[in-house]
Structure 1
């Protein structure tokens, strides 16, 4: 009994030693934000930041959602937010819906809603971070900021350690195979291939996994359109098709082009199908872990033909 009490006290003291002192000065992308007290009603307008709140065990009172062109919200977040009201999309939230929820903190993406900052600040203190384009280091930085705001700093080391184990395992597997040149992107309903550009967050992840993104140019939209002729000219070793909500029908449209059969990656069975919701829509730490796990399970890292979406099934 004494041992149990001692252990409990040690745990309690450890948690208390991490507790942030309020008022708290938060260094964000939109400057230093002063929080007078620990927020209890948080609205989050970016999936990566939502991802990290989930890892910390903090439920928001409102969330920004996917827009109509993006498909569903990421599957791994759906259970967590199923009872949480939406407040519009992540880049065009409803100010009225946000105000009605009476938040005491708003979290958002600097590149999405910086223009709305004056209006949002009138509703509640607003912290803007680099979520959608943040690499692993940035996501860990975001996690630490959110953990301080919510008094969950004692959870950070375990979360980061778990992420690093998954990441390092994927990197180790990838290094056992020769480096491959790849194209990664999604297909529009009309059959146009949109490849992720050099400045897309997937590019450094691919580099981690011993892959080279053949798209060297940058784009404000983080993608470039390629014709089938353009794909053939790039001559990738592998192609990753990012499926929206598991829908392979756009890929079928792409296959209708008679030149598709001349694509080397197609002929060598090096087409892989991964989740667009994870690879192109959210980059929180849990999403990163899912990316690495998908890359392993699909066979993409080792060049093993994929089983989940065989070309015969899609044809």
Structure 2
């Protein structure tokens, strides 16, 4: 594997600094920094801050908050945050269940849940967290997304220091830098992102060379309108990191495009990765299978892990996507961080 690009690491940090995050202290403390930026104080290494008595201070979507020392135990109210805690080897002591995937964490996480979250308990849902259960756990830090848990920020902050991200797919990388600072592993977090981007670029280059710059579509069947995930979605961003082309209609900044049975021919790409939601996905696919255009689509289709591609919005999920891309195009898969599942399955066609 090639060494991480110094310039790419700087780019990650600059992008992350422009997004909205914070670490909350036992109560929020406002300062003159504008939301969406990292304060000068927060840019110093958190282990140094802990040793010399200065607080860790980061601006987030709902204010500015501080930690007196790196956190050790974390409650995650959002799936991407739970993945990040585990990958950065924090101790996950509580997480929420999700509407589509229940109480389980993604298989792509390998043995990380057992190693760093074996005693984690369910603490409600992102929109309806169980405050008593969270308080009983006495976490050092609570992390969540503003769009789902933001209404509870003040109450959560009374329990423990709280972080609220914007929750949009565009912010998924910067969360690792914020959490790395909170856990006292700043350099590990930035290096981990740099290694991912190097692996994405390598895999994309090998795919483009071996398959003559193929176009990629991501199609999801679910309980509701079928979706093509475009450039502004999480899988769209991973594909962009890999330098893989999208059909022209999918290159805008939108998250997804709704597709009806009559529009199935519009799902145009050299390779189509198909995911199915556990809630009604198979039933939705049946109506598409009955169309005359389905055999042609199926010829170019590969089944994909719905949790990794659609709902993870995390670095472990991104590695899983790279693994499935690599196997679909018969190139070497990514070198993944310790503990993550290495994708070793055979390429399988959509059924």
The alignment's TM-score, normalised by the length of structure 2, stands at 0.69
Give the C-alpha shift of residue 301 in structure 1: 8.4
Secondary structure of 1:175's counterpart equals: helix
The partner residue of 1:280 within 310, 318, 336 is 310
Give the C-alpha shift of residue 231 in structure 1: 1.9
Secondary structure of 2:59's counterpart equals: strand
2:4 alignment counterpart = none
CA contact (8 A) 1:229 1:259 kept: no
1:49 alignment counterpart = 81
CA 1:45–1:227: 2 relative to 1, 3 Å: same
Give the C-alpha shift of residue 279 in structure 1: 1.0
- Within a 5 Å distance, the mapping from 1:231-250 to structure 2 comes to 231-244=264-277, 249-250=282-283
The partner residue of 2:148 within 107, 112, 122 is 112
1:92 alignment counterpart = 128
1:101 alignment counterpart = 137
The whole-number CA distance in structure 2 between the counterparts of 1:228 and 1:127 is 41
CA contact (8 A) 1:132 1:283 kept: no
Identify unmatched segments of 5+ residues in structure 1: 1-15
The whole-number CA distance in structure 2 between the counterparts of 1:82 and 1:114 is 27
Give the C-alpha shift of residue 291 in structure 1: 1.3
The whole-number CA distance in structure 2 between the counterparts of 1:211 and 1:300 is 18
2:203 alignment counterpart = 170
CA contact (8 A) 2:73 2:90 kept: no
Aligned length: 284
2:24 alignment counterpart = none
CA contact (8 A) 1:179 1:212 kept: no
The whole-number CA distance in structure 2 between the counterparts of 1:144 and 1:154 is 9
CA contact (8 A) 2:71 2:141 kept: yes
Structure 1 stretch 145-154 or stretch 157-166: which is displaced more?
157-166
CA 1:91–1:280: 2 relative to 1, 3 Å: farther
Does the alignment pair 1:270 with 2:294?
Answer: no
Secondary structure of 1:88's counterpart equals: coil
1:310 alignment counterpart = 349
1:8 alignment counterpart = none
The whole-number CA distance in structure 1 between the counterparts of 2:331 and 2:244 is 8
Give the C-alpha shift of residue 83 in structure 1: 2.9
CA 1:154–1:200: 2 relative to 1, 3 Å: closer
Identify unmatched segments of 5+ residues in structure 2: 1-44, 333-344
Question: 1:60-112, CA deviations, whole angstroms, 9 ceiling, x for partnerless residues?
Answer: 22112322x34543113374134310112234322232223222321112222
CA 1:173–1:243: 2 relative to 1, 3 Å: farther
CA contact (8 A) 1:26 1:35 kept: no
CA contact (8 A) 1:26 1:145 kept: yes
Structure 1 stretch 206-215 or stretch 284-293: which is displaced more?
206-215
Give the C-alpha shift of residue 34 in structure 1: 1.6
CA 1:255–1:184: 2 relative to 1, 3 Å: same
Q: CA RMSD in A?
A: 3.3
1:227 alignment counterpart = 260
The partner residue of 2:48 within 19, 23, 26 is 19
The whole-number CA distance in structure 2 between the counterparts of 1:237 and 1:45 is 38
Question: 1:200-238, CA deviations, whole angstroms, 9 ceiling, x for partnerless residues?
Answer: 12223223342215346766xx44431232121454433
The whole-number CA distance in structure 2 between the counterparts of 1:77 and 1:127 is 22
The whole-number CA distance in structure 2 between the counterparts of 1:157 and 1:144 is 6
The whole-number CA distance in structure 1 between the counterparts of 2:120 and 2:273 is 33
CA contact (8 A) 2:77 2:143 kept: yes
Secondary structure of 1:108's counterpart equals: strand
CA 1:256–1:64: 2 relative to 1, 3 Å: same
2:291 alignment counterpart = 258
The partner residue of 2:236 within 203, 206, 217 is 203
The partner residue of 2:219 within 160, 168, 185 is 185
1:160 alignment counterpart = 193
1:34 alignment counterpart = 66
Question: 1:3-45, CA deviations, whole angstroms, 9 ceiling, x for partnerless residues?
Answer: xxxxxxxxxxxxx994333422122222211223433432112
